[in-house]
A and B are shown apart, each in its own frame.
Chain A
C-alpha cells in the first residue's frame, strides 16, 4: 500500500526551533512539506492559482498556530488537515464555475511510460468530477481519511460522504472502462490481426 506523500519524518529539534519563531526552521519545514501540500491542494482544487493560494494560506495559518501544536497527532497529519481545510475553504470562496481550460492549462503531463495514458485519462476523469466528489474521493482513497472526518470537514453527514464516494468511484471506473473499450476497439480497427488473437 502506497502511503500518503505527506508521511515525512520531521526532526523534533527543527519543530521546536520553528515553534520558538526561528524563520530558518520554518523555511526548512516548508521545503519539506511544500510539494505534498501543494499536490493535495492541486488535486482538490485542480486550478493551479487556487491551489497556490490555498497552500499559502495553509502554511501561514500553520506557522501562526505552530506554538500551540502539542504533538497529539503527527505533524504531517496536522499540516495535511490544515491544507485540506484551506482547500475546502477555497472551494467555498471561489465561483462555482472554473473554466476547464484554466484547470488543464497547466496540467501535469506524465512522462512517456506504460502507465502514462492511464494517468492522463485518470487526470481528465478527475477534472470531470464535481468539486465535492473530487474532494471526497481524493481524501478517502488517497489521503486515507475516514468518512466521519470528511463529513466533518465538509459540514455534511457521514452517509452523504459515503454516497458521494460511491458515485464518484462509479463515475471514474465507468468512464475508464468505456475509454479502455474504445481504445481496444480502435486498436482492433487499426490492426485487424488482433481480432484473430
Chain B
C-alpha cells in the first residue's frame, strides 16, 4: 500500500537525511569568539592611552611656555600686548626687528629641540623589540601617518611654529603609546 503524500511537504524533503557538522567547526567558532573578546579587552586601554597621550602632549607644550614666560606669543619685552598692525614709524627704522618675529624664531627653535628629543626617545623604543598588539600597531601607524603629513607641510613652510607645535604633540602621543607597551611588557615580565 502506498504511503499518503503529506500536504505540507509534497516533495517529501523531510525524508532527506541530515548532515554531521564538520569536526573543526567548534575550534573555528571558539577562535572567532576569543578574538572578539580580546579585541574588546584591548579596546579600552588603547583609547585610554590615546587620551592620556593627548593630555601629555598638552602638558609638555604648556610646560614649555611656563618655563619661558618672556616668550609668551602675545607679550613684548616691555610686557605690553603686541600690536599685530605694526606702525609705519617702527617699520621706517632700518634696524628695527619686530618683537613677534623674534618670539616666533625662539619658539620654533625650542619646538625643534623638543621634537628632536622626542624623536630620539621613539628611536630608542623601536630598538626594544617587544610584541605590539593589533590596536597599538593601528594607533602607531595612524600617528606616524599624521606626522608624515605635518612633515610634508613643514617642507613647504619651514618655520611655522603651529606646525612644529602639532608635530611635537603627535610625537608625544607616539611616545605615550610606546610607554604603554613598555609598561605592559614589564608587568608581564614581573608576572613570570
Tell me the A residues contacting B by CB distance below 8 Å: 1-2, 5, 23, 26-27, 30-31, 34-39, 42-43, 48, 51-52, 55-56, 59-60, 63-64, 108, 110, 115, 118-119, 122-123, 125-126, 137-138, 141-142, 144, 169, 172-173, 176
Contact = CB atoms under 8 A, between A and B. Distances in A.
Main SS class of interface, A? helix
Interface string B1-36: 000001011111111111111100110111011001
B15 A39 contact: no
B17 A1 contact: no
Nearest to B34: A23
Contacts of A31: 26
Nearest 9 A/B pairs, CB to CB: A34-B21, A39-B18, A38-B21, A172-B11, A141-B9, A39-B19, A2-B14, A59-B29, A60-B32
Contacts of B33: 26, 60, 63-64
Nearest to A48: B22
Contacts of B30: 23, 27
Interface of B: 6, 8-22, 25-26, 28-30, 32-33, 36
A105 to B, nearest CB: 14
A21 to B, nearest CB: 9
A144 B7 CA distance: 12
A100 to B, nearest CB: 18
B12 to A, nearest CB: 7
Contact of B13 (A5, A27, A137): A137
A42 B19 contact: yes
Contacts of B16: 43, 119, 122-123, 126
Contacts of B12: 118, 122
Main SS class of interface, B? loop
A39 B22 CA distance: 11
A190 to B, nearest CB: 23
A141 to B, nearest CB: 4
A180 B32 CA distance: 47
B166 to A, nearest CB: 40
Contacts of A110: 17
Given A34-B25, A34-B26, A176 B11 contact: yes
B35 to A, nearest CB: 10
B25 A55 contact: yes
A62 B33 CA distance: 11
A100 B11 CA distance: 22
A122 B9 CA distance: 13
A55 B6 CA distance: 29
A108 B17 contact: yes
